[in-house]
Amino acid sequence: MAFNWLNLAASTNLSWTSCYEGFQCARLSVPLLYSNHSAGEAQLALVKLPSKYSSGHANYRGPLLFNPGGPGNSGVQFVVDGAAYFRDILGPEYDLVGFDPRGVGATTPFLSVFKDPAEALQFYSTYPLVSEATETAFGQEFAQSQILGRLAFERAKEVAESVTSLTAANDMMSIIKAFGVDKLNYWGVSYGSVIGATFAAKYPDNVGRLVIDGVVNSHQWYGGRDEVGALVDADKALESIYEACVSSGPSACALHESSTALIAARVQKLIDKVRRAPVQVLTGNGTSLAFGVVDYNVLLTQLYATTFFPYRLAPAVFAALAQLERGDGSALFSGSTTQGIDSLSTCSYNSSEPYVAGVLDISLAVLCGDNTSPDVPTLEESYSWYQEATKQSPQFTGSYYGTHRGACAGWTIRGKDKLDASFATNTSYPLLIISNTLDPVTPITSARNMSAGFAGSVLLQQNSTGHMSMSGFSTCTAQAIRAYFADGILPAHATVCQPDGAIFEPLRGPTSPFPRAAQAEFHVGEGDLEGAVRALAMSGIFEKAGPVGIWRKMGMGWAAK
């Protein structure tokens, strides 16, 4: 159900109104710049699934804020999509609150870099998704990133200066104050870990229960070099999926072989094939005809996306790869979002309102704007950084760099508000930090680094592959999260939680077009923690976070039906 946010008046107090179905919405007025209150105001869009207890009840625990990562993803949509699952896992004591960070969704002012959808389409339709896809791809990414930076500087500089992680942390402080509390309860995943760590560094005495999951090294993030070490486990993650395929048997994994080396050889043969000769796809007929190609960009980005969410995606993607071996790319194409970028030109657009494409134009405002250095790299410097990163992950650096740190080459805007705090500090309550054993973009080494700085924090390791813990399902992890938010109980140091099942394990529950595809119907009632965790992992809502979310918006990435 749509909701017209601009018809909702903003105020410095939270005035809630019914929205969506069972939710309440509000717009909170905050300073555009916390370092200069005369610069104007911003209006934060917030959504709340109220606690089952009134604010005066002994069991009521106040607001719990969420951030889904990105940067550039809507916290409002994340909570609307996921609140039922979060309620099952966390219980009824908290108000579950999502907010759109600056430049995102319904929060204003809008970050308008492109004048209309046609201009955005012109830019994104030619932006390479894999840096080594062709001999000129890296240079083209560099050149287009300079174009994007120039457009942002000319058209949206003042707004972009307020779109930072520190601003998001300051906004969370404003939100909890508006709720009448002075301690933040927070669950941030992927890039949301940067916001959580920033809050804990800036406001250490205002930490209530704070979970960061799928943890970015915030030291490197603010230093503008977070690609260093980010992909150290990416190729290992793919190898672990091959191992799961070997163990599962031919009935569960379409690429089953007796060894990982044989599976890897089959996949590499496909990669080499589509790089030389992309596979044409033509399905349907008449007005419903769909066409395209499965090329190197499509295959590499989808293979990398599978390492992020292997429990949900690997069975379907591997089946599609087996079909591609037979010369049929239709499954891989129909399961991808390659045609999704067309929405930039066909979506309903009101020319009287600022246009926001919501792809790199938003993510770079944060990623590049947080950089404490004013310098931008030359083409040669950027390429040397890229080559350095390929030593960590020869397979996937090209799928990551050009839509991440490499795209900052032309972005000269920096946030006006500056973080003057340390990530080595005592907080009013210890943080719970969570990492998978093999995370393809936020490795466990980053989680260890951040945990070492926050005194008393505990690092919980989930022994699975994927990006953030909820990419898989572990009742053990969910129990730890519930105990922390409900009673403040931290797991013992060095706790390792095992996943409830294997990657290619047959899924319990309703059937679907693809094995392990999204099934919102998997939602279960409170109390069934194992079912709730599986339902959340299979819902697909976390796939909007991080690089996978960017790829989808740009027309790549797997979308299991």
CATH number at residue 446: 3.40.50.1820
What is the residue type of 51?
S
Residue 201 lies in a domain: yes
Contact predicate 504/453, CB 8 Å: no
Which pLDDT does position 538 carry in this prediction? 87
Q: Which residues of the chain have pLDDT under 70?
A: 1, 335-352, 506-527, 544-561
Which pLDDT does position 530 carry in this prediction? 85
Task: Choose among 479, 471, 305: nearest CA to 403.
Answer: 305
Q: HEC states along 358-402?
A: CCHHHHHHHHCCCCCCCCCCCHHHHHHHHHHHHCCCCCCHHHHHH
In sign, the C-alpha dihedral spanning 207, 435, 441, 302 is: negative
Which pLDDT does position 548 carry in this prediction? 66
Which pLDDT does position 521 carry in this prediction? 36
Report the C-alpha gap between 145 and 147 in whole angstroms. 5
Q: What is the pLDDT of residues 366-424, one digit of tens each?
A: 999 999 998 899 999 999 999 999 999 999 999 899 888 999 999 999 999 999 999 99
Report the C-alpha gap between 492 and 476 in whole angstroms. 12
CA angle 247, 253, 257 (to 5 degrees): 60
Backbone angles phi, psi at 380, to 5 degrees: -65, -40
Query: CA 7 → CA 3, 44, 49, 79, 541, distances in Å?
Result: 9, 14, 20, 21, 27
Residue 396 lies in a domain: no
Which pLDDT does position 338 carry in this prediction? 52
Residue 153 lies in a domain: no
Residue 141 lies in a domain: no
- Can you name the residues that pair with 446 across neighbouring β-strands? none
- Number of separate domains in the chain: 1
Q: What is the pLDDT of residues 3-38, one digit of tens each?
A: 899 899 999 999 999 999 999 999 999 999 999 999
Residue 440 lies in a domain: yes
Query: CA 217 → CA 75, 230, 394, 526, distances in Å?
Result: 21, 8, 21, 34
Residue 96 lies in a domain: yes
Residue 492 CB-half CA count within 13 A: 4
Please state the separation of Cα 333 from the chain's center in Å: 23
Which pLDDT does position 320 carry in this prediction? 96
Query: CA 477 → CA 13, 310, 398, 436, distances in Å?
Result: 36, 18, 32, 10
Residue 203 lies in a domain: yes
Query: CA 350 → CA 347, 353, 354, 356, distances in Å?
Result: 10, 6, 8, 11
Residue 305 lies in a domain: no
Query: What domain range is 435 assigned to?
Result: 5-110+164-226+424-504
Which pLDDT does position 290 carry in this prediction? 78
